[in-house]
Amino acid sequence: MNYEETVAWIHDRIKFGIRPGLIRIDELLNRLDNPQHKLKTVHIGGTNGKGSTTTFLRCLLEEQGLKVGTFTSPYIETFNERIAINGKPIPDEELVRLVTKIKPLVDDMDTVEDLKNAVEFEILTAIMFQYFLDSEVDIVIVEVGLGGRYDCTNVITPLASAITTIGLDHIDILGETIEEIAAQKAGIIKQDVPVVVGRVEEVAFEVIEKEANTLNSPIYRYEEDFSSKYIQPDDNWGEIFSYRSQTLDLSHMTISLLGKHQVDNASVAIQLYDVVSTKLGLPVSGKEIKKGLKKAFWPGRMEKISDEPLIVLDGAHNEHAMEVLVNNLKTEFKGSHIHTIFGALSTKDIDSMIRDLKTVPNLDLKVTAFDYPKAFTKEQYSEMGLNAYDKWQEALAISLEELTGDDVILITGSLYFISQVREILLGGN
């Protein structure tokens, strides 16, 4: 198999949909002699903020000189970036090698009724564990795919776990209430393994706390066991804040990701880093923490891709993320006219997301279809009483003509949407 055939085979497994449960991944990993049990791991779940927290933690651990594997989704720039070591995506030839090894196992499983039809994410998870074992990484940060309890990444006993945020998303699978979703997220908590909890509602925390207490898992809660104080935006695009915990007191730290919510994500990462470093017997230095945080970059999260005109991409793709984005727009771009181009998936609560966006002063909204199987169509927008564009390029061209002074162009609504826009705009087309 060549690289194109390899990726095509992986993508072809999408046809089997989303299938929560561990029976297939357990069997596949067992046939690989369980590489996941031979790795040191950190498990990160939550509705939003997983990717940014993973990146902050990776950069902190790299400052310790560690070889750090990361498993994230979805991809923004290249398919291979989902599996990376110190930020470098898995090479094409390694992906081919591992699929050549794993495909016969999957083909054999397809002949057994209870094991057949392993989905794309299960296969990627198996590839990831095997690649990191073969590459002799020091530690792996594993981002949950969907939910937690029945997610196929939930086959590890990590050094520590984290739950970043909890909001309403994937309600058809995870449940229709915050409590039900929290119960799914809390499923990644393991016996005696510390769990770091970010900014969550009290009803969600009660569910998480009950699970942690049952499993004798030490719990570190944001704004109780560790906290941050927001100071101000950084002049060079980012945020400045201080951090305090039972063991650390750090002032005037800078991150290069914009938005107050990124201070929350960075704080969760620092607490995780402290817990993990202690378990590994590594010293924790405020100087190294400041260096690591400053280096962290995560595409598609309040990302500035152009200064003149100012164009910002943000992957807010559910109601919880949109609330965060709207709060950021009201503070970071107060007084600016914001030309917003919105494209989303039909599986999301688009009505709520658009309603939130419309609360931002001086915001002009253009909705658009885009090329993706589940993308909301022009016809569907029309049924909502919205005039939509067939192509986002048309919406962008008109927005560019309308720009004056300190106006901002914001592109948002879906990670899949902004990744397409990003590829074309940064590709120079």
- What contacts 24+ positions apart, CB below 8 Å, involve 379-386? 380/346, 384/350, 384/351, 384/354, 386/354
Helix (H, G, I), strand (E, B) or coil at 305: strand
CA–CA distance, 359 with 365 (Å, rounded to integer)? 11
Residue 171 binned pLDDT confidence (cut-offs 50, 70, 90) = low
CA–CA distance, 414 with 348 (Å, rounded to integer)? 9
Mean pLDDT of the chain: 93
- The answer on pLDDT for 291 being more than 60 is yes
CA–CA distance, 40 with 10 (Å, rounded to integer)? 26
CA–CA distance, 319 with 413 (Å, rounded to integer)? 10
Mean pLDDT of 102-114: 96
Residue 172 binned pLDDT confidence (cut-offs 50, 70, 90) = low
HSE (side-chain half, CA atoms, 13 Å) at 197: 27
- The answer on pLDDT for 373 being more than 90 is no
Decide if 3-295 and 303-426 have a common fold: no
Helix (H, G, I), strand (E, B) or coil at 335: coil
CATH superfamily of 3-295: Mur-like, catalytic domain (3.40.1190.10)
Burial per residue of 245-275, b for 16 or more beta-carbon CB atoms within 10 angstroms, e otherwise: beebebeebbbbbbbbbbbbbbbbbbbbbbb
pLDDT at 170: 62
Q: Return the CATH number of the domain spanning residue range 303-426.
A: 3.90.190.20
For the chain, the structural domain boundaries read: 3-295, 303-426
Residue 429 binned pLDDT confidence (cut-offs 50, 70, 90) = very low
- The answer on pLDDT for 105 being more than 70 is yes
Please give the structure tokens belonging to residue 195: 């769990």
pLDDT, tens only, 377-411:
999 999 999 999 999 999 999 999 999 888 999 99
pLDDT at 173: 67
Q: Could you tell me where the beta strands, DSSP code E, fall in 237-383? A: 238-245, 249-255, 303-306, 310-314, 338-342, 363-368
241 touches 263 (CB < 8 A):
yes
Strands 83-85 and 88-89 turn out to be: antiparallel
Please give the structure tokens belonging to residue 93: 């030839």
- The answer on pLDDT for 267 being more than 70 is yes
Residue 14 binned pLDDT confidence (cut-offs 50, 70, 90) = confident
pLDDT at 398: 95
Q: For the chain, how far is it from start to end, CA to CA, in angstroms?
A: 31
Mean pLDDT of 403-422: 93
pLDDT, tens only, 65-100:
999 999 999 888 899 999 999 999 999 999 999 999
CA–CA distance, 421 with 306 (Å, rounded to integer)? 13
pLDDT at 59: 98
pLDDT, tens only, 44-72:
999 889 999 999 999 999 999 999 999 99
pLDDT at 189: 98
Distances from the Cα of 405 to the Cαs of 223, 335, 347, in angstroms? Answer: 40, 11, 37
DSSP label of 345? B
Sheet holding 310-314, edge to edge: 303-306, 310-314, 408-412, 338-342, 363-368, 388-389
Strands 226-234 and 88-89 turn out to be: unpaired
CA–CA distance, 411 with 409 (Å, rounded to integer)? 7
CB 393: neighbour CB atoms within 10 A? Answer: 16
248 touches 284 (CB < 8 A):
yes
Please give the structure tokens belonging to residue 224: 């109780």
Maximum distance among all Cα pairs of the chain, rounded to whole angstroms: 64
Bridge partner list, 69: 85, 140
CA–CA distance, 274 with 348 (Å, rounded to integer)? 36
pLDDT at 175: 67
pLDDT at 298: 86
Mean pLDDT of 253-271: 95
87 touches 58 (CB < 8 A):
yes
